[in-house]
Amino acid sequence: MLKLTYVFICTLVIASIDVPRLCGQVGLSCATLNDPTALNVELIHEGSPGESREIRDAPHSAIRLDRHTLKVRWQGGERVFRDRPPFDEPLDGIEWAYCGYNPQMKMHLIGKQNVDVFTGVLLNDLTGDLLQAGETVVFSPDQRLYLAYEQPDGQDGPTIKMFTRTGSLLWKGYDGLLSEDGIDVIADFDRVWWSGNDHLVAEYAVAGRAQKVILVKSGTGKWVWKENGTE
């Protein structure tokens, strides 16, 4: 069963963004807060009111050719996304949904339910390239990197991934701190954000006290969360 947890709430003013993970940062999300007072978070899916709204706002036009076929235009052409059957079986097949456009990054976000993983891809509006992403994407301050969230069914929290601007995967891990063997969850992150120098900072609580960690590359080339992270 899909589990979405959002705990950091604030007012958002960036177009196409209304999910707490993006508070104060540039990005796109397939998640919408339909009722902010009740924290009613839902994912945009094919044919939903949320998708219809984003399709209307697409810069060069996006359209559903039929229930299971989505066409999105970019500056120099178009991309067609076709669902893969079975269509009516839960957590099976592939389903695409248009989740919006970010004019600062010149990127479209296309949501993808890939069997039992809720993720997405970015469509570069300048080149037409498709980049790996997630259901929510947050860009770094200098736009060299982006963070993507995807939710495997049955996993308590999301998987988070860090990519270069061109879509190369640098790191991926659980949205929280794990034991050394990677099995037990020590703490879930309350929020993750980009610092001014393009480092990822995460916050979690221990005995009611907020703690910070920062994602750094160790001497062996492995990315690790370092305690006492600062912005």
- For 151-188, the pLDDT digits (tens) are 999 998 999 999 999 999 999 999 999 998 888 999 99
Reported residue count of the chain is 231
pLDDT of residue 207: 85
Sole residue written with tokens 């076929």: 69
Please give the Cα distance from 24 to 108 (Å, whole number). Answer: 19
Overall number of domains in the chain: 1
Q: How many CA atoms lie within 13 A of 231 on its CB side?
A: 9
Q: Residue-wise over 19-53: b if at least 16 C-beta within 10 A, else e?
A: bbbbbebbbbbbbbbeeeeeeebebbbbeeebbee
Kindly state whether residue 175 falls inside one of the protein's structural domains: no
pTM for the whole thing? 0.86
Residue 172 lies in a domain: no
d(CA 92, CA 82): 14
Cβ-count burial 171-186 (b if 16+ within 10 Å, e if not) = eebbbbbeeeeeeeee
Is 223 domain-assigned?
no
For 169-209, the DSSP string reads EEEEEESEEE-TTS-SEEEE-SEEEE-TTS-EEEEEEETTE
C-alpha 39 chain-centroid distance: 18
Asked if residue 35 is part of any domain, the answer here is yes
Residue 79 domain flag: yes
- Phi/psi region, residue 54 (left: phi>0; alpha: psi -120 to 50; beta: rest), is alpha
Can you tell me which residue has the tokens 């736009």? 143
| Residue 112 bridge partners (DSSP) | 96, 119
User: How many Å apart are CA 151 and CA 159, to the nearest integer?
Assistant: 6
Which of helix, strand or coil describes residue 56? helix
pLDDT tens per residue, range 108-142: 999 999 999 999 999 999 999 999 999 999 999 99
Q: Please write the tens of the pLDDT for every residue from 12-31.
A: 323 333 355 776 689 999 98
Inside any domain, residue 225: no
DSSP state of 37: G
Kindly indicate the confidence band of residue 32, based on its pLDDT and cuts at 50, 70 and 90: confident
Cβ atoms of residues 177 and 187 within 8 Å:
yes
Full residue range of the structural domain in which residue 92 is found:
20-167
Q: Which of 191, 141, 126, 137 is nearest to 162 (CA)?
A: 137
Could you tell me if residue 205 is inside a domain? no
Answer whether residue 131 is part of any domain.
Answer: yes
What is the C-alpha separation between 64 and 42, in angstroms, rounded? 21
